[in-house]
Amino acid sequence: MRKLSARWVPRLLTVDHKRDRVTISKQYLEMFQRNPDEFLRRFITVDETWIHYFTPETKEQSKQWTSPSESAPMKAKIMKLTGKQTINGDYYAALLDRFNILKKKRPHLAKKKVLFHQCTSSHVPGTDGAKFNEFRYELLPHPARFSPLRLFHGGKRFITREINHQLITEIKAYFEELDKSYYSDDLKKLENRWIKCIELKGDYIEIKINR
């Protein structure tokens, strides 16, 4: 027997989730392999993630006994909603207006559809759905819980809402220090991630995080 720490995941995947992840990964892989360079030139991805004020359980506390042949157990992370900003259709429509300036910066996109990978499909219906048609974005499907934002402030705790500004400052400082290779390197890994997802039959891909 050995004792392993449970691996936090955003949500425990159902059979339907896993099937959708495999189907969509195959679809992306086929599109990518037709012309990898052109795919990446037209590909835009957007995501949002929860930033938590505290860690609900330490790594040591989450350890469970397993047999040598078993992998680390999974636990779904459940947190209370904080803050007052709602990410709804109107908010997202305004965000798409800002993204449309990309066509001015990238002339090659003017006559081609942009492949817009939206990780938060709940915002597609309604107001912002019309925006996709207006800007000629081709909305790509997104499987459940596929691309979480990398952890960047591990070990730091923000206990109360009164210090919300401290959390925001930390986040802004983190992204301002990133080189563009941080994003381009991850995009280059997309093909391998889709292949891995198919191999794992839609289950979570374990990501090693450097802190």
Q: Of 4, 14, 145, which Cα lies nearest the Cα of 71?
A: 4
Query: Would you say residue 210 lies in a domain?
Result: no
For 123-159, write each residue's pLDDT tens digit.
454 545 677 777 777 777 776 655 544 444 444 554 4
Q: Is 60 exceeded by the pLDDT of residue 10?
A: no
Q: Does residue 51 fall inside a structural domain?
A: yes
Q: The domain that contains 10 carries what CATH number?
A: 3.30.420.10
Which are the contacts of 14, defined by CB distance < 8 A and separation ≥ 6?
none
The answer to whether residue 120 sits within a structural domain is yes
- Determine the structural domain holding residue 79 and report its residue range: 2-200
Q: Is residue 179 part of a domain?
A: yes
* pTM > 0.95: yes or no: no
Asked, for residue 52, whether it belongs to a domain, the answer is yes
Q: Per the domain annotation, does 117 fall within a domain?
A: yes
Spatial CA neighbour of 118 closest among 138, 134, 133: 138
**DSSP 8-state symbol, 45:** E
Residue 211 located in a structural domain:
no
Model confidence band, residue 162 (pLDDT cutoffs 50, 70, 90): low
User: Does 206 map to a domain?
Assistant: no
- The pLDDT score that the predictor gives to residue 79 is 44
CA distance 102 to 100: 5
Candidate from 43-52, 92-101, 120-129, 188-197 with smallest mean pLDDT = 120-129
Radius of gyration (Cα) for the chain, nearest Å?
Answer: 19
Average pLDDT score over residue span 41-46: 79
**Contacting residues for 23 by C-beta, under 8 A, at least 6 apart:** 143
Q: Using DSSP bridges, classify how beta strands 74-76 and 7-9 pair: parallel, antiparallel or unpaired.
A: parallel
